[in-house]
Chain A
Amino acid sequence: MFSAFRTIIARDLLLAMRRRSDVLTTLFFFVIVVSLFPLGIGPELNTLRLIAPGVFWVAALLASMLALEKLFFVDYQDGALEQMLLAPQPLSILVLGKVLAHWLVTGLPLVLLSPLLGLQYDLSTATIGIMMLTLLIGTPALSLIGAIGAALTLGLRGGGVLVSLLVLPLYIPVLIFGAGAVEAETSGLGGTGHLSMLGAILLLSALAAPLATAAALRISAE
């Protein structure tokens, strides 16, 4: 079971490395969206500091959502997904492996790049640290929840737009606690409560989302 888990992660990472432009697209989408806000709102640093947590989190949400389309689609097209459905290992474990690999190539770079963008918004080192921490806990949850939507809309007309309609309402708790933790920490209230809730959401989605995704994949690929 665990060897299948490891194999699928290695395979997906290898595939991603062969198609680096896909990975970079998501990352640059995040960078561009975050850089657009100062252009729309104005270069006032006090305002920027205030809106930074919200902007970063909304941008991360959108980037994660855009990347979802590729999560199962290639495997669905070339038939690899059918083989996974037939595999003796539990499908939810394979799904978990795929989601983890997907997060490693689309979510983690975003977390690692956020300090650089934080400097654009004149954030303090402490704020950047807590922001990275929330993104580190929050973005895997986004990938896990989003996988359900990606599996449900697999192979549908206009799947990309549809997936946003399905997934974005479900992302709201992550957004609230993620951006809330940063804000609570900078305002001196302490973001531990928010971080704990974020961790709880991550654990719950790691448990339940692969099962729902596996069910949805079986429905979509039948």
Chain B
Amino acid sequence: MGGRLNLYKFSSPATFYPLAGKIGKISTLIAVVLLVIGLYMSFFVAPTDYKQGEGYRIIFIHVPSAWMSMFIYLVMAFWAGIGLVFNTRLSSMMAQALAPTGAIMTFIALWTGAFWGKPMWGAWWVWDARLTSELILFFLYIGFIALQGSIDDARRADRAGAVLLLVGVVNIPIIYFSVKWWNTLHQGASVSVTEGSNMSTIMLQAMLIMTFAFWAYSIAVSMYRVRAIILEREKDTRWVSELPEIRR
């Protein structure tokens, strides 16, 4: 090694490609191990909730996916901003690679939320502030993916997507608070999502393990996806044609 680590080295697709493969493999391993532990804990170790019964166990999927859905949008906006300012191709590719995972996380959060809401609230869907803003977040993801998909020129797609992400990230707090005030004006929140949030330690531990599992999964999937994007965009370069998996 010697000397300090040169981070800029990995801003080139050619050097990042093998690194992404390594990170992807390690993250997959971590994700699988944590998922096994987390699912075992959430289904067999965590006690039954005295108020919500067994149905509450869905939060071990729901809460991590909801957290990831919001976090991934911020990470995408971060990469998009970097890509726009420094004109680094890889940053934009990262933003593009993260988008489907973020959309899936949002969808899982909405879907599991509906499953949880039916037994607890008696309705698949209520116009609660959190639900509504999660739905709008889903629309924002879909808009980003649709915009990127309809632009053929990769460079323009990257930069247009970056502008959209930055506009979206400014709007998210505005949307969240407007939805919140809209909701409180129309009706008092009949059921609070955080009701009885003094969770037992074991539940919290299981949820945190699941969160890290989701985190590792998101990293793994986006690394594999960014590898595919790199290959697609750099297919005419020499280093790609010299890769062992391409020559085969």
Contact = CB atoms under 8 A, between A and B. Distances in A.
Interface in B141-182: 142-143, 146-147, 150-151, 156, 159-160, 163-164, 166-168, 170-171, 174-175, 178-179, 181-182
Contacts of A139: none
Interface of B: 136, 139-140, 142-143, 146-147, 150-151, 156, 159-160, 163-164, 166-168, 170-171, 174-175, 178-179, 181-182, 185
Interface stretch (A37-45, A63-71, A77-85, A171-179): A171-179
Interface stretch (A26-34, A108-116, A208-216): A208-216
18 contacts: A157-B150, A159-B150, A162-B146, A162-B150, A165-B146, A168-B139, A172-B175, A176-B179, A176-B181, A176-B182, A177-B178, A180-B181, A197-B178, A208-B170, A212-B166, A216-B160, A219-B156, A219-B160
Contacts of B159: 219
Contacts of B150: 153, 156-159, 162
Contacts of B181: 176, 180
A162 B142 CA distance: 10
A152 B178 contact: no
B79 to A, nearest CB: 17
B174 A169 contact: no
A49 B150 CA distance: 41
A36 B238 CA distance: 61
A168 B185 CA distance: 22
B163 A219 contact: yes
Q: Which of A156, A172, A201, A222 has the most CB of B within 10 A?
A: A172
Contacts of B143: 165-166, 169
Interface string A135-157: 00000000000001000110011
Contact of A169 (B136, B170, B182, B185): B136
B237 to A, nearest CB: 23
Given A165-B146, A166-B143, A220-B156, 10 more contacts: A148-B167, A152-B147, A152-B163, A165-B139, A169-B139, A169-B140, A173-B171, A173-B174, A180-B181, A222-B156
A216 B28 CA distance: 37
Contacts, number: 72
A156 B151 contact: yes
Contacts of A159: 150
A222 B181 CA distance: 41
Contacts of B156: 219-220, 222
Nearest to B153: A222
Nearest to A156: B150
Given A165-B142, A180-B185, A173 B167 contact: no
A23 interface: no
B147 A173 contact: no
B171 A170 contact: yes
A51 interface: no
A4 B18 CA distance: 52
Contacts of B167: 148, 170, 212
A148 B160 CA distance: 10
B235 to A, nearest CB: 23
Contacts of B140: 169
A153 B174 contact: no
A98 to B, nearest CB: 18
Contacts of B178: 172-173, 176-177, 197
A216 B163 CA distance: 7
Contacts of A169: 136, 139-140, 143, 168, 171, 175
A201 B174 contact: yes
